[in-house]
Structures are given as structure tokens and as C-alpha cells.
Amino acid sequence: MNHELKKTINDLRTEVEQAWKKLDLEQKLQQAAELEAAVAEPEIWLNPDEARTKNETLAHLNDEIEPWKILRAQVDDLDELLNLGGEDLATELEEQLQALKDQLQELKKALRFTGKYDRGNAILRITSGVGGTEAMDWAGMLERMYLRWAEHRGFKVTNLERSTGEEAGIKTAVYEVKGNYAYGLLKSEHGVHRLVRLSPFNADNLRQTSFALVEILPIIENQEDVKIDNKDLRIDVYHSGGHGGQSVNTTNSAVRITHLPTNTVVAIQNERSQLQNKAKAMEILRGKLAQMQQEQQAESIDKLRAGESAKWGQQIRNYVLQPYKLVKDTRTKFESKDPESVLDGKIDDFIDAFLEQ
């Protein structure tokens, strides 16, 4: 029995060490130590933005490293207990070993994230399709679904822009989603989502099909990753129509940035100052261009072609509430017969199926 347990523990340790190397955790430990030393220096707080960025990066690294450090230590502790306890602890050790194996399988999901921006934060943008109130209501349902999902994950979500429908739902909404692997997880949601249901806005209660576009964009932490030439930008300012009180609406605080080569437009008005709105608009623009670069497999931003990013093409997922109940992903073929649960934020099975594929 001891020999078998010893072998299983050694196999587990080997898997942990392989994952440790693949995730480059040794280098990340060093990076975390350097950041810890940096944020401990009083002078850094003379530049609050730099201090906040370094603190966020440090927290992000620690969230990724700590579970692996704990698992590594627990495997060593189990090995030591086996050496000390002999046959008396065999049953208990087997139970603990199974728990560690389950924990490893959960942590190994991180190995699925191989994209350049997968471990970082994301921009979530939802736009209603044609169809008036029905489509705007559908976009609002998707907004709630993603907010519930992010809440369950413990992600920090910040609204950057939101335009409500006249009767129901939203015309468009933009959110910043912060948390480990936020982009890597959410990227499976990028595309057109289609709803079939009996319309609550139709007097005849007819079956209605609605569409909404979900865009998932990476937040580019290093601006050098996506270099944008100022001559390629047209920047317009205008009166904000958003929240913020009277002062917002009497100043040209809203910003619209157009990337001329690709005709990509980003407009932000939620922040109180023009500078803040411009900074957020540039953040979203970088994400849009990075997403387009991945879609077009372009070598650089300069090689991007206008009008070829994912827009209103074929839907990636169908949500059918009538005449039967089914949510089905058109790419992975994964499906759920409980659309109410899915629309309540339980989309992890769809995300997992996409990542496994």
C-alpha cells in the first residue's frame, strides 16, 4: 500500500512541477518580489496611477501563484506524512491525495490559456441588433447574464458606457471586467447571440427572433504591444449626454476616436473629464485593434483591413425559449436544456467546452 501511495504522490508532484514550468511561475515569483519591493517604497505614491497599476499587477500575480504554491507544499506534506505514518494513515492519506488530485485538475485549467492576452482583463461590449424594443430587451438580458457570471466569479466590473432602450433593455453597454483570465474566459462569447421566444412586446404574442452582438476585447496593459500612430486617428469632442450632473452636460467632455485605416470608432462619455474619456476610448480602441489583428491573423496593426472584424455574421449561439427550450453553441455543439439557468449567468460549461476544443 505504501509503495502505491508513494508512486501516486510522486506522479502528482511531477504533474505539479510540469505545470509550474509551463506557467513560468518561477519568473512570476521573481516579478512579484520586485513589485512588492517597489510598492513598499514611499516615493512611488507620488505617482498614484503608477502605484495603482503596480499594485493591481502584484495582486494579479499573487492570485495566480498562490494556489500552485499551496498545492506544491501540500504534496510535500503528504509525502512526509506517508514516511512517518506507515500503514496506520493509509486510508486518510488516500482521501487527502484524491482531494489534491482534484485540486490539480481544477488548477490545470489555467494551462488552456495560451493566448497573448488570455491571463489579462477584458472589455465586454454588448450591442442590440435590428428589431427595436425586442432586440434591446435581448441585449439587456445578455447584459444581466454576464454581470451575474462575473459576480459569481468574483470579478470586478466597471461600467464605461451604457445607452438604455426607450421601452426596455439597452442599445449598447460597455464594461471593464477585471480578474484572472477574464479575457481568456470571456473570449468564447465574442460574436452574435440569437434569441427565439414568444415576444412580450407583441400584442399577438408571436414568436420573435432577436440578435445581439457581444464583443470581447483584451485590455492592453503595455501600450507598446499595440502602437497606434496619431496621424491615423481623428478625435472629436462633444457634449456628454451621460450621468455626472449638470457640469458634464455643459462641457465638451465626451470623446469619439476614429481609427481611420480600419474605420474603427470608439466613443466614451461616462467619465467626468475629457482626458479620462479619451484615455478609456484609447484603451478600448487598442483592444479592438488587437482583437481584429487576431481575427485577421495580421502581422501588425498596419496590416489590418477595414470592415473585416467579426460583426453581424453567423451567430455563435442560439437561445431558444419557444417552441422548446434549448441553448446550443454552433461552434462546439455543446447544449443546455435549461436556458433560464444559462441566462442567470451559468455559462461556465459553454466556456469550458470552447476552451477544451
Percent residues over pLDDT 70 in the chain: 92
Under a CB-based contact definition with an 8 Å cutoff, are residues 319 and 195 in contact? yes
Does the pLDDT value for residue 89 go beyond 50?
A: yes
Per-residue cell: 256: 469619439
Beta-sheet strands, E only, within 249-292: 254-259, 264-268
Instruction: Give every strand in the sheet of 233-238, ordered side by side.
Output: 233-238, 254-259, 264-268
What local confidence, expressed as pLDDT, does residue 243 receive? 47
**Per-chain mean pLDDT for the chain:** 86
CA end-to-end distance (rounded Å), the chain: 38
What local confidence, expressed as pLDDT, does residue 316 receive? 94
Under a CB-based contact definition with an 8 Å cutoff, are residues 260 and 242 in contact? no
More confident residue, 340 or 3: 340
Residue 207: band (very low, low, confident or very high) from pLDDT cuts 50, 70, 90: confident
What local confidence, expressed as pLDDT, does residue 337 receive? 96
What local confidence, expressed as pLDDT, does residue 3 receive? 81
Between helix 90-107 and helix 2-22 the angle, nearest 10°, is 20
Span 209-232, mean pLDDT? 86
What local confidence, expressed as pLDDT, does residue 245 receive? 40
Place of cell 504522490: 9
pTM of the shown model: 0.76
What letter does residue 44 receive in the DSSP assignment? G
What local confidence, expressed as pLDDT, does residue 249 receive? 47
User: Of the segments 9-13, 84-88, 288-292, 312-316, which one has the largest average pLDDT value?
Assistant: 9-13
Q: Decide which of 3.40.640.10, 3.40.50.620, 3.40.50.150, 3.30.160.20 is the CATH code for 224-303.
A: 3.30.160.20
Round to whole Å and give the CA distance between 254 and 249.
Answer: 9
What local confidence, expressed as pLDDT, does residue 246 receive? 40
Considering the segment(s) 124-222+314-356 as one domain, its CATH architecture is: 2-Layer Sandwich (3.30)
Under a CB-based contact definition with an 8 Å cutoff, are residues 139 and 132 in contact? no
The string of pLDDT tens digits covering residues 241-293 is 654 444 444 466 888 999 988 888 888 887 778 888 888 898 889 898 888 88
What local confidence, expressed as pLDDT, does residue 248 receive? 43
More confident residue, 58 or 307: 58
* In the chain, domain spans: 2-112, 124-222+314-356, 224-303
Residue 311: band (very low, low, confident or very high) from pLDDT cuts 50, 70, 90: low
**How many Cβ atoms from other residues are within 10 Å of residue 234's Cβ?**
11
Does the pLDDT value for residue 186 go beyond 50?
A: yes
What local confidence, expressed as pLDDT, does residue 57 receive? 86
Q: Do domains 2-112 and 224-303 have the same CATH topology?
A: no
User: Of the segments 51-60, 149-158, 305-314, which one has the largest average pLDDT value?
Assistant: 149-158
Residue 1: band (very low, low, confident or very high) from pLDDT cuts 50, 70, 90: low
Q: Decide which of 3.40.640.10, 3.30.1360.200, 3.40.50.1580, 1.20.58.410 is the CATH code for 2-112.
A: 1.20.58.410
Q: CA angle, 229 as apex, 223 and 235 as ends, to 5°?
A: 95
Does the pLDDT value for residue 297 go beyond 50?
A: yes
